[in-house]
Amino acid sequence: MNNLSAQAEDKQFLIPDSGKHALIRHEFDLAYSGGTVSNLVFSNKGISVDRADIDMNLPSGEYLSEEVTTTFDAKELVLTWNASVPQDTWLEITFRVKGEGEGWSEWYDMGLWGNKTPQLRVTEDMVYGPLKVDIFKAGRDFRLIQYRIRFYGSEVKGFPLLKSVTLCYTKPAEDALLRLMEPPRGQTVSLPVPWLSQFRYEDVEDMDMMIAGVCAPTSVTMVMKFLGKPVRVREIAQSAFDPVAQIHGNWAFLTATAANHGLRAWVQRFHTWHQVRRFVEKATPVIISVAYSKGSFSNEPEAASEGHLMVVRGFTRSGDVIVNNPGTAFREKGDGVVYKWQELGMAFFGHGGVGIIITK
């Protein structure tokens, strides 16, 4: 852009600042071996149970991460994991944080991955505030993160295999802060991601799920099909169902579901469309979380949502965004629909810039 001052006056180029983000990935199947283990072993496949010494009245093993120091004062955290979890086995995932000059928080409970029985979770701390299902929004800054994962299984059923853990932490921007953004121009790219609808029975195959809302598992299914996994929306929704929150859209459970099918998946937050475009140009669609009010989109003036997931599959030469939107029953309105980059940017970055990445 040649005249920044002139364009700064044009509101279409001013996009909500999603904050400052950082990503830490502990990939145990790629030789990361930090932290301490109890009755567990590291291998080139990940962390698994050492079966020689197991008390069936206790967890089969426990992994405790190192104390991870953030590179800036953070206030939000999304923790996700990749694991192979045989039927009737599970992982217990907890984490805690610590501010500079402060004590550690309670251990926040992300849930029992693999166990569909509702369990009480510790999701509140008097100092640091609440864990809201899948995103931690602290009441004060923190500079240290530590997580703990317990393994449950048996010689008969088998044991989970932990492959990786991803920490996405954030310092939110000040309220109503806007930033000047350029359109993500370049050669037109559109990945052949198959479109599915959360409102068509032939796609979801479960009326209760359709009523409850399954934009998240429908979006994940589209990407998994693109990556060669012959999965169905109902299957992904059942696997990713959070029995405590009673939702199919828990981000951590969605990434864990994709990983249980042999893929890599994590949550990442974005500052700009250029970051998203780089993934798409490498044949990786990005599932984005958006919120928007009526009149936000010129091509869908009646649409509104407090929270919705859709798949970014491409970009036009001018930088507009090509999307597979599961939130319609009509192919012409959902399959490769083009949104103006400014309009979708308000809905995406204004909602935190949260994206789900799934790759081989």
Instruction: Report if residue 8 sits inside a domain.
Output: no
Same domain for 135 and 59? yes
Identify the three-state secondary structure at position 128. Answer: coil
Same domain for 108 and 190? no
For the stretch 251-274, pLDDT in tens is: 999 999 999 999 999 999 999 999
Instruction: Report if residue 74 sits inside a domain.
Output: yes
Q: Is the pLDDT of residue 344 over 80?
A: yes
Q: Which of 153, 171, 189 is the last residue of a domain?
A: 171
Q: Which residue has tokens 């008097």?
A: 126
Confidence (pLDDT) at 8: 40
Residues present in the chain in total: 360
Q: Is the pLDDT of residue 132 over 80?
A: yes
Instruction: Report if residue 94 sits inside a domain.
Output: yes
Instruction: Report if residue 1 sits inside a domain.
Output: no
- Average pLDDT score over the chain: 93
Q: Is the pLDDT of residue 177 over 90?
A: no
Same domain for 330 and 211? yes
Q: Decide if 196 contacts 112 (C-beta within 8 A).
A: no
Instruction: Assign residue 335 the CATH number of its domain.
Output: 3.90.70.10
Confidence (pLDDT) at 53: 62
Characterize 274-304 residue by residue with b for buried, 16 or more Cβ atoms within 10 angstroms of its Cβ, and e for exposed: bbbbebbeeebbbbbbbbbeeebbeebeebe
Same domain for 264 and 300? yes
* Residue 256, CB-side half-sphere exposure with 13 Å CA sphere: 33
The mean pLDDT of 59-84, rounded to a whole number, is: 97
| pTM of the complete model | 0.94
Instruction: State CA 57 to chain mean position distance.
Output: 33
Same domain for 47 and 124? yes
Instruction: Assign residue 132 the CATH number of its domain.
Output: 2.60.120.260
Same domain for 141 and 190? no
Q: Is the pLDDT of residue 7 over 90?
A: no
The mean pLDDT of 118-136, rounded to a whole number, is: 94
Q: Is the pLDDT of residue 217 over 80?
A: yes
| Residue 10: band (very low, low, confident or very high) from pLDDT cuts 50, 70, 90 | very low
Same domain for 266 and 188? yes
Same domain for 84 and 214? no
Instruction: Report if residue 33 sits inside a domain.
Output: yes
Confidence (pLDDT) at 116: 87
| Residue 149: band (very low, low, confident or very high) from pLDDT cuts 50, 70, 90 | very high
Instruction: Report if residue 4 sits inside a domain.
Output: no
Instruction: Report if residue 176 sits inside a domain.
Output: no
The mean pLDDT of 190-207, rounded to a whole number, is: 98
Q: Which of 121, 141, 171 is the last residue of a domain?
A: 171
Same domain for 80 and 193? no
Same domain for 159 and 259? no
| Host domain of residue 297 | 181-359
Same domain for 48 and 100? yes
Q: Decide if 4 contacts 180 (C-beta within 8 A).
A: yes
How many domains does the structure of the chain reveal? Answer: 2
Within the chain, where are the H helices? 4-8, 201-204, 207-212, 215-226, 233-240, 251-259, 273-281, 331-334, 341-349
Percentage of residues in the chain with pLDDT exceeding 90?
87
Q: Is the pLDDT of residue 6 over 80?
A: no
| Residue 52: band (very low, low, confident or very high) from pLDDT cuts 50, 70, 90 | low
Instruction: Report if residue 5 sits inside a domain.
Output: no
Cα distance between residue 47 and residue 61, in whole Å: 10
Phi, psi values for residue 341, rounded to 5°: -60, -35
Q: Which of 151, 171, 191 is the last residue of a domain?
A: 171
Same domain for 284 and 159? no
The mean pLDDT of 80-107, rounded to a whole number, is: 96
Confidence (pLDDT) at 49: 95
Confidence (pLDDT) at 307: 95
| Residue 57: band (very low, low, confident or very high) from pLDDT cuts 50, 70, 90 | low
